[in-house]
Amino acid sequence: MTSSRRGPTAKPFGTGRIIFWRGGSLWIGHAGEETGFHEHHAIQVTLTLSGDPVRFRTPGQAWTPYAAAIVAAHQSHAFEAHGELVALVFSEPESLEGRALRERYPEGVSALDADEFSGLAARLATLYAQNATDEELVDCARAVTTKLSSVHLSSAKPLDKRIVRAIDILRERITDTVTMTEIAEAVHLSPERFRHLFLQETGIRFRPYVLWLRLELAVAMYGAGSSLTAASHAGGFADSAHFSRTFKRMFGVTAIGVQRA
């Protein structure tokens, strides 16, 4: 999230912190500008930390208030919470917890029981106010998804081991030029079989998934203080404009809306 306007067309999304870990991320802070319609690969749990509800809408629908909500992977939506302290906890659908959540919430924006998460929400708000370490915030954020998915973890189908290996290789080589054929060969599958299996297991095609991983890397670096240009290049984007366009398509706000407070 960001706290300042940079240029006449930049609109601040909010002020806060963004922390990534393998399989998810936490975006926490005070929201500002509402987003446009967007969709991303991650499953998004949203908690209001300051009392008043946030609002979501999907295409063709009116704004709806939520004290706590979950947005399915690849669900087009817009979001607003002007001035509210909020926590957005993202989970990768191919993670174990993400697979349990994807089975339970396959589409749409769904209300969650805010009372069930009141303790964790209060803890997140306190940690944020105290400028807690990344590790403390991550532990609390991951407890949110664990609590939500724990009932369904035992029934979640494990990710195919070949796709697990493919994702590991992709993460190791994300700064290089990687082709689907190379990854398919590395996990001993034909390109066509790999194409179908990857989509089946992750819910996303190979190339968009590579782009998602590159975006995550660039956002993490930018949020940690790197310049927009440096973060863009680190993520494998041709330039900052390409990174910014991709970011806005997936998160509904400008790329300069990502900056550690």
CA 204 – CA 211 distance, rounded (Å): 11
Cβ atoms 46, 69 nearer than 8 A: yes
Q: What is the mean pLDDT of the chain?
A: 89
What φ, ψ does residue 8 adopt, rounded to 5°? Answer: -70, -20
* Confidence at residue 137, expressed as pLDDT on a 0 to 100 scale: 97
Predicted confidence band of residue 16 (pLDDT cuts 50, 70, 90): confident
Residue type, 146: T
Q: Is residue 222 assigned to a domain?
A: no
Q: Is residue 248 assigned to a domain?
A: no
* 60, 77: one domain: yes
CA 1 – CA 6 distance, rounded (Å): 13
Q: Is residue 68 assigned to a domain?
A: yes
Predicted confidence band of residue 254 (pLDDT cuts 50, 70, 90): confident
Q: Is residue 245 assigned to a domain?
A: no
Residue-range definition of the domain harbouring residue 170: 161-203
* 181, 73: one domain: no
* 74, 102: one domain: yes
Residue type, 22: R
* 109, 169: one domain: no
Q: Identify any residues that bridge with 16 across adjacent strands, giving them in sequence order.
A: 29, 260
Left (φ > 0), alpha (ψ -120 to 50) or beta: where does 42 sit?
beta
Predicted confidence band of residue 261 (pLDDT cuts 50, 70, 90): low
Tens of pLDDT, residues 77-132: 999 998 899 999 999 999 888 988 998 899 999 999 999 999 999 999 999 999 99
Distances (CA, A) of 63 to 29, 69, 80, 158: 21, 13, 9, 36
Mean pLDDT check: name the lowest of 4-8, 197-201, 228-232: 4-8
* 67, 180: one domain: no
Owner of token pair 């998004």: 44
* Confidence at residue 11, expressed as pLDDT on a 0 to 100 scale: 54
* 78, 192: one domain: no
Q: Is residue 142 assigned to a domain?
A: yes
Higher pLDDT, 204 or 155: 204
- The number of folded domains in the chain is 2
User: Which of 96, 126, 154 is at the close of a domain?
Assistant: 154
Higher pLDDT, 16 or 47: 47
Cβ atoms 72, 108 nearer than 8 A: yes
Predicted confidence band of residue 256 (pLDDT cuts 50, 70, 90): confident
CA atoms within 13 A on the CB side of 22: 7
CATH of the domain at 75: 2.60.120.10
Q: Is residue 82 assigned to a domain?
A: yes
Q: Is residue 229 assigned to a domain?
A: no
Predicted confidence band of residue 2 (pLDDT cuts 50, 70, 90): very low
Q: Is residue 233 assigned to a domain?
A: no
* Confidence at residue 155, expressed as pLDDT on a 0 to 100 scale: 61
Strands 68-71 and 43-48: antiparallel
Predicted confidence band of residue 161 (pLDDT cuts 50, 70, 90): very high
